[in-house]
Amino acid sequence: MSHSLRDHASQKYCAVLGAEGVGLGRWHANQHQWLGSREFTCDAAQPAWEAALQVLAALLAEHTVRGGQLQVLLSARFSRFCLVPWSDAISHPRELDAYARACFENLYAQPLDDWRIVLSPEPAGAARIATALPQALLQGLQALGRDSHLRLRSVQPYLMAAYNRCSAQLQQGDFLFVLAEPRRSVLLLAAGGAWQQVLAQGCADSDQALQALIERTCELYGEQMPRVYLHAPGRGDVPQLAAVQLCQPASEADPLCAMWRAVA
């Protein structure tokens, strides 16, 4: 039985580009279906996103994806994050972009000419969280979408998708939001109603390593320990930490599937 063009258009896919693998899920007629995942490897001369795109192309071909919408969630491995302080001297979007790039270059000690920068919307006077994504990765995703007749609906760091999904569970006041992806963690520190710190780094998948990372970040806070919120979608067990567990998905053997279900 063949599908009509309208059937194809109603298909919605979500690809999760993880630190070491790529997964693919589908929504159709309010039904959620995990299609599977594959690991990827890359040599030192190859950007990790190239290997991830090759695996995503293979997954789309394997499941004969021809038409619909595609949403992409990116691991912190493919993203860079930076705190952009407020500046009264900025009066134009072009100036803000240049200012954000200067903040990134100061932090990473290298230019980001081939990266796209997106800033979080914040009220006047408050610092912003900036995200940088490789321009070539975004172009590669657009090309994959064209090849599979998919409309690229959005490309979003998993950090932002997870925070937006979990934000309703966060209480008023100062807090530390911790995203523990497999092999990498990102921490967002908020105090006084504004962002104070964003930190992304490799972290072993153990309670001890994660607890040490949280404690080091809280030392930057300098005062009373803020409330800690933890989202750990790739962990098969519930971390035994002094933190509020957020969006804890059902147990999944595949961490990419757990990430997908947590924000689906």
Residues 256, 126 share a domain: no
pTM assigned to the model: 0.89
Q: Within 13 A of 137's CA, how many CA atoms are on the CB side?
A: 24
Find, among 139, 157, 147, the residue nearest to 58 by Cα: 147
Q: Tell me how crowded residue 106 is: count the other CB atoms within 10 A of its CB.
A: 9
Residues 168, 50 share a domain: no
What angle do helix axes 255-263 and 158-166 make, rounded to 10 degrees?
50
Q: What are the C-alpha distances in Å from 60 to residues 20, 36, 145, 147, 210?
A: 18, 11, 10, 10, 34
Residues 107, 11 share a domain: no
80, 200 contact by CB (below 8 A): yes
Residues 207, 84 share a domain: no
Q: How many domains does the chain have?
A: 3
Query: Which range of residues forms the domain containing residue 107?
Result: 79-132
pLDDT tens readout for residues 193-228: 899 999 998 888 888 888 888 888 887 776 677 889
Residues 86, 192 share a domain: no
pLDDT tens readout for residues 35-83: 999 999 988 778 999 999 999 999 999 999 888 999 999 999 999 999 9
Residues 147, 62 share a domain: yes
pLDDT tens readout for residues 83-128: 999 999 998 999 999 999 999 999 999 888 899 999 999 999 999 9
* Last-in-domain residue among 141, 158, 175: 158
Residues 244, 146 share a domain: no
Residues 256, 183 share a domain: yes
User: 29: domain CATH number?
Assistant: 3.30.420.40
Residues 178, 258 share a domain: yes
User: 168: domain CATH number?
Assistant: 3.30.420
